[in-house]
Amino acid sequence: MPNNHDADNPPPALPIIRKEPPRRSARCEDAPPSGLLAGIAQFNAGEYWECHETLEELWRPEPDPIRYLYQGILQVGVGFYHLRRGNWRGATNKLRGGLGYLAPSAPACMGVDVARLRAEAGAVLAALESLGAGRIDEYDAGDLPRVHLVSGVDYPSPPLRMNRIDPAASQDNARRRPSPEAGG
């Protein structure tokens, strides 16, 4: 989706949402929105940057605590992005933060098997912490955990490439939003 914003046409202002500790949403029993399914498909395809972009569009304007589910999945994905790039500090910080955001949504929320994602991503974090920064290259990041939906739930398949943005090709995007390398 092209960004048509400039000095004469700024992006719409985001609502001010008070920061509070993550908590479970009453909406956890709802079906997942298509944007969440698209972000999960990107995550599961190893497209962590695209997942970040898709889920950020969901959580930033969301006032309901369901935003913590979106943020948690996004941050675990950014942690895996950092892991694949050999950035131990970025990987461990984002994984730890993502696990914290996901905790209130366990065991399941919006059809997402949160308990499984927390267990599997937590095992990756524990392995990285055990290895330490100097040995991150010893971790095989070729088969990272995926986001699973709880069994018995049938949701429509999302488009795999929704809102795909190439960070290297978008100068405007690079100026307005920090990259995952910057911890975003």
Secondary structure (3-state) at 178: coil
Q: Rounded to two decimals, what is the model's pTM?
A: 0.76
Beta-carbon count within 10 A of 158 CB: 19
Closest CA to 82 of 70, 99, 94: 94
What is the per-residue pLDDT for 10?
65
Q: Phi and psi for 43 in degrees, rounded to 5?
A: -55, -50
Domains and CATH numbers, the chain: 29-151 (1.10.3450.10)
User: What tokens appear for 50 in the block?
Assistant: 């695209």
pLDDT along the chain (184 residues), means of 10: 61 62 90 96 96 94 94 97 97 98 96 97 97 95 94 55 39 38 45
Instruction: Please say whether the dihedral angle defined by the alpha carbons of residues 83, 150, 17 and 5, taken in this order, is positive or negative.
Output: positive
